[in-house]
Amino acid sequence: MYYPYLRGKQFELLSLREFADIYSDNCKVFPVIEPVKSSFNSMKIALKKLQEKKISYALVLNPQVGELIRNTRTIEMELEQLLEDRDSWIPAYIVNSNSKGIIRQIQIMDYHHVMLICQDSVDSNNPDFEELIGLAVVTKVLINNDNRSLKRKLQKLGKEVIRLDDNFKPQKKNSDYVDIPEEKFTEEHRYYDIEDHYQGLGDYTVLTSDFLEGGRLPYAVAIHLTYEKNSDEIWVRHFVSDTNDDNTNIQGKFGEAAEKAVEFFERIPFSNDSIAELTGYYRNGQYPGLGVLKKISIKNHLELMNSIIS
């Protein structure tokens, strides 16, 4: 299984909806969603779609970033109707030094399948943490940085352990990608199971693990698209505009970046729903907006991982 970690923002959620529409019959993607917005409209539409299409997901109930930090109650109340159907989703908790509180939450709500997401600050020998992972209802645990002693400990307890990788290396400005046409993204999809004995693989898609709000109109347009460079490696390619002196003429810059992307994927040749969508905008001379570009980048990565992961 592939576990993309996504923040519940408009275009992240839209990419999940569109992915669900195409791949519901053949889905190896188990999204992990951290709510970050106090308005729940896009979240409700997206979760409803995932449930309709029978795609299981994990919902983080104790977000650590955004507008809902430590606001478990609001999330449970706002999404009450959707969350009633407990077979369609599992609750997830981010663990740092808050194991006691999480145990209490799980018991109050009587959850039967729980995912934990371990942050670096987790002390795996802390008695509270040991009590938490000792709960039989904790079935899936995401860990990062290939923390081997923690992995062993969890596997002894019979948990499914999933590695969560922070693969996307952000640059300060989009124009910095001009000098990095492409870079290696991951090879873990080849090794995480058979060689490294993980039960699943996760990443932050083509976004950085840091939570960033808003943003200004950029000087350069960059489109980040992952692809299978060879049978062992996934690379990310950065398609960047050429005229990057100020923040005007964003349409023209999109045209420059999209042209490079379209040509590249025609040459490989490779296409999927996301690449086809981008090609469509380019051919019609249509600028879709920066949010839609982000959606396409994420959706492309979901499509790619879905086709690769066994």
Residue nearer to other proteins on the CB measure, 125 or 286 = 286
Q: Count how many residues are written for the chain.
A: 310
Q: Does 38 bind other proteins (CB under 8 A)?
A: no
String of contacts with other proteins for each residue 193-232, x by CB under 8 A: ----------------------------------------
Stretch that binds other proteins, among 53-61, 95-103, 182-190, 242-250 (CB under 8 A): 242-250
What are the backbone angles phi and psi of residue 94, rounded to the nearest 5°? Answer: -85, 125
Distance in angstroms (rounded) separating the CA atoms of residues 71 and 36? 10
Q: Collapsing DSSP states into helix, strand and coil, what is residue 130?
A: helix
Question: What's the Cα-to-Cα distance from 151 to each of 102, 120, 203, 309, rounded to whole Å?
Answer: 20, 13, 17, 21
Residue nearer to other proteins on the CB measure, 102 or 278 = 278
What's the min distance (Å) between Cβ of 250 and other proteins?
8
Among 210, 246, 269, 310, binds other proteins (CB under 8 A): 246
Tokens of 214: 């808003």
String of contacts with other proteins for each residue 248-277, x by CB under 8 A: xx-xx-xxx---------------------
Q: Does 66 bind other proteins (CB under 8 A)?
A: no
Residue nearer to other proteins on the CB measure, 41 or 243 = 243
What's the min distance (Å) between Cβ of 38 and other proteins?
11
Q: Collapsing DSSP states into helix, strand and coil, what is residue 307?
A: helix
Smallest CA-to-CA distance from 233 within 184, 284, 288, 194 is with 184
What's the min distance (Å) between Cβ of 248 and other proteins?
4
Strand partners, 140: 115, 160
Q: If 0-12 CB within 10 Å is exposed, 13-18 middle and 19+ buried, where does residue 177 land? A: buried
Binding site for other proteins (CB under 8 A): 246, 248-249, 251-252, 254-256, 285-287
